[in-house]
Structure 1
Amino acid sequence: MTVAIDMGMSNKGSAAQLDLEELLATRLLVQGNSGSGKSHLLRRLLEQSANWVQQCIIDPEGDFVTLAEKFGHVVVEADRSEHELTRIAGRIRQHRVSVVLNLEGLEADAQMRCAAAFLGGLFDAERDYWYPMLVVVDEAQLFAPAAAGEVSDEARKLSLGAMTNLMCRGRKRGLAGVIATQRLAKLAKNVAAEASNFLMGRTFLDIDMARAGDLLGMDKRSTEMFRDLERGHFIALGPALARRPLNIAIGPVETQARSTSPKLMPLPEARGEDAADLIFTPGADEDIRAPIRRAPQPAPRPTADILAQLSAPPPPELGRTGLFPEIDEKEREDAITTVLGEILEDPEASYRSVAVLYQDFLVRCRIRRVPGAPPDLADFKRRFAVARAGVDTGTEQSALWQQALALAQTLSDDLQGVFLVLARAAVTGQPCPSDATLARAYGSHSTGRARRVLTHFEERDLIVLREDFSGNRIAAFPDLACETGPGDPNAPAMGDGRAAAE
């Protein structure tokens, strides 16, 4: 089915139409300096396609919340936990509701984390809910920066990873990315390069014009045209728009943003003494507070005094007592184990991404006041894999289990949990876990993936699989000199290894 979205008029006098079905398969990049009409273009696209496709808008400034009044979009305020945002995103895909994620009022670091969690929830939805969805990200350079800025490296990596998944791998999951940016030079190249459709607006900086020209296949002389574009005019190119660069003027919209461009207004008529009274006389309802007076800055110390202090010998130590009390390592480990157990009690924990699980882990550690610095992401992955295996205290301290942990370290992070669930069954002599149980440990509902993981283990000579006369599976570990008991590979999932052991 072909749906033509009316975007306005072309310079040839014909209607400028956008093929919505082609857009869902090829994605769109919009670029224009502030005041070029970029937000107006996005609003036109959203309004014209609202009745045809589910929409999600990542809105850092709260400009698109007005779509809710006329087109029924649900506004999701971002002042929630990242775990809650991920859950909401999953339900959005399930029920096919158009939403606006309002990030207004949050710091840049928090905006990136919330957007990453929300996009991750859309991306990790069940296959049954992979319906077509238009995902519009305004000010995309904030969420996929080309270089590190003032935000933390962790937030930048989470946000950039989510944006890369949207643009590179989202198509197979029904997600069509539409990203808009003021500065192409500030947008990560691997995110921008995945778009096949382009709408380039007014641009003045040479570096941005060069990037736009590269994407459109234009020479340097031709890129000068971007400086001459009027407000609301864009150069369109792509399979969903035009096969050759086409100048189009975006049509009118039905809704308006809450923030508008500044307009000139006449000054008030009060002049002279009246104006002075307005400034120096407090109003009746004005909160009068004492002015804050800053202490005078101390005189700078001479350089010679600073050098003399640095070269002087340190004072004798009065004792070795530190400023902070020493941390009881056993208490800390017990608290971390308790937090991991709480996470594993959630039946949906196995199907959430590692980044979301780690954020949940950090929040729970703060709530329980776990002393010391929390484990980093790599240490958390290792601890979570061991906790998921669910070994008892006696088995955990055995030399055989320590050898199994050493073998697991030779595998990638996503495979360690599956290997340890198998190894626990072999070390304790329990039946071989079913395909569904192994798939759950892998974080998937697909039993086919679990069987492929077992094949991978066999190819690396970590296990040897065989069947008894009843068709039950047995997994032998040559390096551990032990094997599991017979187990039905088609049995339902038993939960995480910890739950199964209990």
Structure 2
Amino acid sequence: MKVGIELGLTRTGEPLAMDLEELLSTRLLVQGNSGSGKSHLLRRLLEQSAGAVQQAIIDPEGDFVSLADRYGHVVVEADRSPGELTRIATRIRQHRASVVLNLEGLDAEEQMRCAAAFLNGLFDADRDYWFPMLIAVDEAQLFAPAAAGDVADEARKISLGAMTNLMCRGRKRGLAGIIATQRLAKLAKNVAAEASNFLMGRTFLDIDMARAADLLGMERRQAEAFRDLESGRFIALGPAVSRRPIEVRIGTVETRARSGRPSLLAMPEIAPDALQDLIFEPGAEIPPPPPPRVRAAPRPVEIPQTAIAGPFGRRIDALATAERRSEIEAFGSRPEFFAAPAVEPEPDPRSPEERAAELEAIYAEVLADPETPFRPLPLVYQDFLLHCRVHRLADHGQDLSAFRRRLNLARAGIADAADPDWAPVIEIAEALPEEMQSVFLIVARAARERAPCPSDEDLARAYGSHSPSRGRWLLTFMGERGVIRSEVDFRGYRSVIVAGVGWRTAPGHPKGVEPVPRRRSERRRLGE
């Protein structure tokens, strides 16, 4: 199927078209200084071919997300882990979806790693999904630099390798690269050399003009013409567009970038004194930094007359009636306090529903103590039995094993353990060491509710430790056991997937840092 992309008009006023099928086989290189119209040219190419071929745009500045509203491109935000981006890229090829990979907000090294993971996912797709696809990379010198810069060598190597695969080996897999760069001298030669079609815009440096002239087969004295090109004018050459260098003015586009050309605006008319007040006024909206957390020395607690002391030094709130107070005073100092009563207790007049509600209240009282996570389980169980005695709940049916299981569910906030969705998760938890079960259930509950992944401090607390490093070790241990899988995105935020059910937490920072608000396109994707 022959499809022509109308680029614009030549100097003689004739339309100039680019053969899309030839472009898929021969690739394209666009070069021009900042402001020469490269992004406008890419937008024209993508709009003209949107209905004829699958597209993917590597967008470092978020300028091409507007294609989603007009042409149905899916916006893929970069706040994901490398493994997740690779899986998304595979599904993109499978379902032939056109996408925009939005790298806005990431630093240079994170952009390189993110683009490499995405491109490798497209490149490594199964042979059954090698459909024709245009891959447009704006500011390609960021992802295929000619020399090492400020970024880590590892990030530069994986990004350069992905770009080289795209331009050198992508044709057999149906991938056609369209790369745009400000300077040819900044772009790796192995990447630039694989393009057979060229669109050269305004250039001022001698080394870039000479290299552009060499690529177009022009004489060195003709290289001065690149300085005289207006914004939006390019010299085109290649089997997909023209066999001889020809100048073309790029046509109009239907969508617009969020950041356009700067234009002059009238200066505000504000008196100098008022302007100084606006600038130097103290920032009342900026809260003061929080005071450092200092652990205060324990102070003796004065027990009021409305409370009494029970076994193990535990404080028990006063009972509502003097009768219950006298009962605890009578039994509190006796060793057989927790033993079964010698006489048959009177039948409980409360209904089963009332006893169940009373039992839930007792578990809530036990968990309300901030020191409960850090105390040995037998002591917590003794505390539970004491509360049952206070509430006159003799028939609770909770031995130590049942108490441990129910306490883990209560810590995780799982109200309905009979829910069939929880059955496989609870079964997995019971296969873990006892002290880890509550940690796993807390992570599983966050995953089911799509809440942020718990921080290292929260996980360590559920384990009974004050060390955040213990929380990181717990996730590593459970990952080695195959019950969860942890992924870290390019911002350092962590997501956990629960094995067997596929529940996934929202990204959460290991140190409990508040997540960055989602972009509008991401909120729209999640239906928020």
TM-score range, shorter chain: 0.5 to 0.7
Q: Which amino acid aligns with 2:11?
A: N
Q: Which amino acid aligns with 1:164?
A: T
Distance, in Å, in 1 between the alignment partners of 2:275 and 2:481 is: 67
Distance 1:271 1:224, change over 3 A: same
Per-residue deviation, 1:218: 1.5
Which string of whole-angstrom CA distances, capped at 9 and with x for unpartnered residues, describes residues 226-271 of structure 1? Answer: 0000000000000111110000000010000011221101111123
The match for 2:49 is 49
Per-residue deviation, 1:176: 0.4
The match for 2:6 is 6
Distance 1:270 1:83, change over 3 A: same
The match for 2:286 is 287
Instruction: Work out whether 1:38 is the aligned partner of 2:31.
Output: no
The match for 1:165 is 165
Q: Which amino acid aligns with 2:200?
A: M
Aligned 8 A contact 2:235 2:246 in 1: yes
Distance 1:359 1:341, change over 3 A: farther
Which string of whole-angstrom CA distances, capped at 9 and with x for unpartnered residues, describes residues 379-430 of structure 1? Answer: xxxxxxxxxxxxxxxxxxxxxxxxxxxxxxxxxxxxxxxxxxxxxxxxxxxx
Instruction: Work out whether 1:195 is the aligned partner of 2:195.
Output: yes
Q: Which amino acid aligns with 1:61?
A: E
The match for 1:321 is none
The match for 1:451 is none
Which string of whole-angstrom CA distances, capped at 9 and with x for unpartnered residues, describes residues 1-46 of structure 1? Answer: 2111111101121001111010000000000100000000000000
The match for 2:89 is 89
Q: Secondary structure at the match of 1:263?
A: coil
Distance, in Å, in 2 between the alignment partners of 1:224 and 1:359 is: 49
The match for 1:408 is none
Q: Secondary structure at the match of 2:121?
A: helix
The match for 1:70 is 70
Instruction: Work out whether 1:211 is the aligned partner of 2:227.
Output: no
Distance 1:53 1:60, change over 3 A: same
Distance 1:340 1:241, change over 3 A: farther
Spell out the pairing of 1:106-121 with structure 2 (5 A cutoff).
106-121=106-121
The match for 2:248 is 248
Q: Secondary structure at the match of 2:203?
A: coil
Distance 1:215 1:359, change over 3 A: farther
Per-residue deviation, 1:277: 3.2
Distance, in Å, in 2 between the alignment partners of 1:39 and 1:174 is: 24
Distance, in Å, in 2 between the alignment partners of 1:187 and 1:55 is: 23
The match for 1:229 is 229
Distance, in Å, in 1 between the alignment partners of 2:146 and 2:175 is: 23
Aligned 8 A contact 2:148 2:156 in 1: yes
Distance 1:277 1:54, change over 3 A: same
Per-residue deviation, 1:272: 3.5
Distance 1:184 1:214, change over 3 A: same
Spell out the pairing of 1:453-468 with structure 2 (5 A cutoff).
none
Distance, in Å, in 1 between the alignment partners of 2:102 and 2:478 is: 35
The match for 2:126 is 126
Q: Secondary structure at the match of 1:118?
A: helix
Q: Which amino acid aligns with 1:39?
A: S
The match for 1:138 is 138
The match for 1:186 is 186
Distance, in Å, in 1 between the alignment partners of 2:173 and 2:81 is: 25
Per-residue deviation, 1:337: 12
The match for 2:102 is 102
TM-score (norm 1): 0.58
Distance, in Å, in 1 between the alignment partners of 2:214 and 2:141 is: 18
Distance, in Å, in 1 between the alignment partners of 2:488 and 2:169 is: 23
Q: Secondary structure at the match of 1:176?
A: strand
Per-residue deviation, 1:342: 5.4
- The runs of 5 or more residues in structure 1 that have no matched partner are 291-334, 347-357, 368-502
Per-residue deviation, 1:287: 3.0
Per-residue deviation, 1:220: 1.4
Distance 1:276 1:238, change over 3 A: same
The match for 1:418 is none
Q: Which amino acid aligns with 1:151?
A: V
Distance, in Å, in 1 between the alignment partners of 2:479 and 2:220 is: 58
Aligned 8 A contact 2:31 2:180 in 1: yes
Which string of whole-angstrom CA distances, capped at 9 and with x for unpartnered residues, describes residues 406-457 of structure 1? Answer: xxxxxxxxxxxxxxxxxxxxxxxxxxxxxxxxxxxxxxxxxxxxxxxxxxxx
TM-score (norm 2): 0.55
The match for 1:490 is none
Per-residue deviation, 1:279: 2.9
Larger Rg: 2
Distance, in Å, in 1 between the alignment partners of 2:32 and 2:167 is: 20
Per-residue deviation, 1:166: 0.4
Per-residue deviation, 1:123: 0.4
Distance, in Å, in 2 between the alignment partners of 1:340 and 1:195 is: 45
Per-residue deviation, 1:210: 1.5
Which string of whole-angstrom CA distances, capped at 9 and with x for unpartnered residues, describes residues 79-121 of structure 1? Answer: 1000000000000000000000001111111111111110000
Distance 1:72 1:286, change over 3 A: same
The match for 2:362 is none
Percentage identity across aligned positions?
A: 71
Distance, in Å, in 2 between the alignment partners of 1:228 and 1:103 is: 33
Q: Cα RMSD between the aligned structures?
A: 2.9
Q: Secondary structure at the match of 1:55?
A: strand
Q: Which amino acid aligns with 1:210?
A: A
Aligned 8 A contact 2:237 2:244 in 1: yes
Per-residue deviation, 1:214: 1.5
Distance, in Å, in 1 between the alignment partners of 2:478 and 2:68 is: 43
Distance 1:149 1:281, change over 3 A: closer
Distance, in Å, in 1 between the alignment partners of 2:82 and 2:287 is: 40
Distance, in Å, in 2 between the alignment partners of 1:275 and 1:336 is: 55
Q: Secondary structure at the match of 2:220?
A: coil
The match for 2:523 is none
Q: Secondary structure at the match of 1:221?
A: helix
Aligned 8 A contact 2:81 2:488 in 1: no
The match for 2:276 is 276
Distance, in Å, in 2 between the alignment partners of 1:341 and 1:176 is: 42
Q: Which amino acid aligns with 1:240?
A: A
The match for 2:28 is 28
Distance, in Å, in 2 between the alignment partners of 1:341 and 1:9 is: 63
Which string of whole-angstrom CA distances, capped at 9 and with x for unpartnered residues, describes residues 292-312 of structure 1? Answer: xxxxxxxxxxxxxxxxxxxxx
Distance, in Å, in 1 between the alignment partners of 2:32 and 2:90 is: 32
The match for 1:263 is 263
Distance, in Å, in 2 between the alignment partners of 1:159 and 1:272 is: 50
Distance 1:22 1:207, change over 3 A: same
Q: Secondary structure at the match of 1:255?
A: coil
Aligned 8 A contact 2:137 2:179 in 1: yes
